[in-house]
Structure 1
Amino acid sequence: MLLTAMSTLAFSADSKLDEVLARGHLVMGTGSTNPPWHFKSVDDKLQGFDVDMGHIVAKALFGDPDKIEYVDQSSDSRIPNITTGKVDITCQFMTVTGERAQQVAFTIPYYREGVGLMLKADSSYADYAALKAAGSGVTIAVLQNVYAEDMVHAALPDAKVDQYDSQDLIYQALNSGRADATATDQSSIAWYMTQNAGQYKDAGYGWNPQTYACAVRRGDQDWLNFVNTALHEAMTGVEFDTYAKSFKTWFGKDLAPPQIGFPVEFK
C-alpha cells in the first residue's frame, strides 16, 4: 500500500514535467535576432547561449539535446506564451524583476548581465580608470533610450554621451573615432570581441547588474525543480563541460571548473 501511495504522489496528471516527457520533446520560446543569445546561422539554424540552455534542459529530459521545438517569439511575447501554455519554458535573455516574478516562475540564474565599456585595442586610453580621469574629454557611444545618459554618467560622470538608434552605429562611431568607447551590455562586448579578435579591448569595469533566468508557468513546482536541477548541474556538476563550451563559444571566456569538495553554492 505504501509503495502504491508513493507512486501516486510521484506522478501527477497535471504535472508539466510528465506532460513534456509524454510528448517526447521540449517546447521552448526564444528569439532569433540577438547574438550571442539567439540568432540564425548562415544555414538558418537557431543558435546562441539561450538556445544552448534549451539543449541542456532537453538532454536532461530525454538524453538528447536536440529533442526540442523552438517557438520564435518577440520580447513582449515571453510572458504571454508561458502563461497561456504555448511554450513549456522561455529562455530569452529575460531580466528577473519582482513584477515579472508575479506572472511567471523564474528558474535559477544562468547569466549575470551588466553594462561595460569597449575601446579599440590601440586606444590612447588604457582602461576605465583612464577614461574616468579624462573627464569631459571622452565621448561614449551608447544605444539610444531615455536612461542612456544617466546610465553612462553613473560610471563616467563627466563624459560626453552620443546616442545612436542601433547597435551597429555605436560600433561605427567607435571605429571612426567619433567615440572613444562604447557603453553596452557586457555580453555584447564579449561577443563582439570574440568575433573581432585583437581589435578591441574591455575597459575592465562593469555596472548596472541584472540577472538572466529562464521562466516557466507558475504553480508547477515539479517542473520548476526539474529545470533548476538541469541548469544547476550544467553550471556546477555533471554537465559543466557543456555549459563551459557554450560560454567559451559565445563570450570567448574559459570558465574554471567547480571546485571539488565543499559545494560552491554554500561558500
Structure 2
Amino acid sequence: MHDIVGSRRNLFKSGLVGGLALAATAASARTAAAQAAPNSLLRTVLDRGKLIVGTGSTNAPWHFEDDNGQLAGMDIAMGRILAKGLFDDDKKVEFVRQDAAQRIPNINTGKVDIVIQFMTMSPARAQLIAFSRPYYVEGIALLTRPDSDKKTFDALLAAGSSARVSILQNVDAEASVRKVLPQANVMQLDSQANVILALDSKRADAAAVDLSTVWWLSKRHPDKYADAGKSWNSMLYGAGMKQGDPDWVRFVNTTFDVAIHGHQNEIYDSAIRDYFGIAPPARAPGLPKF
C-alpha cells in the first residue's frame, strides 16, 4: 500500500496524473459521438458540428438583441455553455428565433435540438417534452423606486392598505399579492409595460413582476428602480428536449451541472453578473449542496 500511495504522489509531482486527466477530457467529437447510441441526438449534433437552439429575442434579461443586434441574455448564455461542452467552442451554436407558442412544436418536429427560452417546468409540459435540470428558479418580486418611502418590503407591509401594488391582470393576481401583502391595494393592469409604468408615474408604490425583471431593471437603472427584497412563488426554468433520448438529456444535465456547480463556470458566472447584477454562487469542495 505504501508503494502504491508513494507512486501516486510521484505521479502528481511529475504532473503525469493531471496530464492524463486532461488528455482524457480532450477526446475528439468523433470519439465522443461513438459512445452515444446510434439514434441519439448527441451523435447527430456532434457530427453536424453545431448546436441548434430555439429561443426568443424580446424578453430581457433572458433573450434580447444587444446594441450590436446580436442575441444576448441568460438563455443565450446557457446555449453557449452547451456549445462549449460539445465542441470546446461556444460560438458553434445557431439560435432559431421563435415565439413562445412554437417552443414545444419545434422540439417535437426536430426543427431545433433544444429550446432554452425561459420555459416554466410543469407536470403537464413534461408529458409532451423532456426537461433538463432547472437552471433558474423564477418567482414574483417587488420592484420599487429608490426615492420612495415604501422602497422596502417591510415598509410596504407596514403601510397596510395604503400600499398600492400593480400587477399583470390574471385570475390569480390579487391572491398572489395578498400572500405577502395581505392589506395592499392591488391594481391589475393589461400589460407588463403598464404595470411598470404605474410605478414610474407613482400611481403604484411597487410593481409585482418577475424576480429576474427586478434584478435586471435595478441593475440597469439604479437611480430609477430598486429591489424591495422580497420574492415568492417559485417556478423552475428548464431547457426543453424531445422525449426518448436519454443520452442527449444526460449530456445537457451534466453540462448544466458543471457550469452551475462545478469548475467550468466562466460563461455562467459572467451571465449572472451581466444580466442579474448579483454575485455568482459560491462553490466549495466537499459534499455537494444540490
Q: Indicate the residue corresponding to 1:3 in structure 2.
A: none
Q: Indicate the residue corresponding to 1:75 in structure 2.
A: 100
More strand by share: 1
1:110 aligns with 2:135: yes
Mapped contact 2:142–2:209 kept (Cα < 8 A):
yes
Superposed displacement of residue 129, structure 1: 2.1
Q: Indicate the residue corresponding to 1:152 in structure 2.
A: 177
Of 120, 143, 151, which residue of structure 2 is paired with 1:95?
A: 120
> How many angstroms apart in 2 are the aligned matches of 1:246 and 1:217?
26
Mapped contact 1:39–1:48 kept (Cα < 8 A):
yes
Mapped contact 1:240–1:257 kept (Cα < 8 A):
no
Corresponding letter in the other structure for 2:176: M
Superposed displacement of residue 185, structure 1: 0.4
Superposed displacement of residue 170, structure 1: 2.0
SS in 2 for 1:133: helix
SS in 2 for 1:94: coil
Q: Indicate the residue corresponding to 2:144 in structure 1.
A: 119
Q: Indicate the residue corresponding to 1:172 in structure 2.
A: 197
1:132 aligns with 2:157: yes
Report the more deviating stretch, 249-258 or 139-148: 139-148
Mapped contact 2:33–2:42 kept (Cα < 8 A):
no
- Aligned residues between the structures: 259
Uncovered stretches (5+) of structure 1, i.e. residues with no partner: 1-6
After superposition, the C-alpha distances for 1:214-240 in whole angstroms (9 at most, x for unaligned) are: 011111000000011111100011222
Q: Please, what is the CA RMSD of the aligned residues?
A: 1.7
> How many angstroms apart in 2 are the aligned matches of 1:194 and 1:134?
26
> How many angstroms apart in 2 are the aligned matches of 1:190 and 1:222?
35
Q: Indicate the residue corresponding to 1:163 in structure 2.
A: 188
Superposed displacement of residue 12, structure 1: 2.4
User: Structure 1: which 4+ aligned runs deviate by more than 4 Å?
Assistant: none
Mapped contact 2:36–2:42 kept (Cα < 8 A):
no
Superposed displacement of residue 261, structure 1: 2.1
After superposition, the C-alpha distances for 1:10-54 in whole angstroms (9 at most, x for unaligned) are: 342201000000011001101111000011123221111001000
TM-score (norm 2): 0.85
Q: Indicate the residue corresponding to 2:275 in structure 1.
A: 250
Uncovered stretches (5+) of structure 2, i.e. residues with no partner: 1-31
> How many angstroms apart in 2 are the aligned matches of 1:59 and 1:244?
14
Corresponding letter in the other structure for 1:186: L
Q: Indicate the residue corresponding to 1:33 in structure 2.
A: 58
Mapped contact 2:164–2:185 kept (Cα < 8 A):
yes
TM-score (norm 1): 0.92
Mapped contact 1:258–1:264 kept (Cα < 8 A):
no
Q: Percent identity?
A: 44
Q: Indicate the residue corresponding to 2:168 in structure 1.
A: 143
Mapped contact 1:141–1:164 kept (Cα < 8 A):
yes
SS in 1 for 2:237: strand
Instruction: Decide which structure has the larger Cα Rg and report it.
Output: 2
Superposed displacement of residue 126, structure 1: 4.6
Q: Indicate the residue corresponding to 1:237 in structure 2.
A: 262
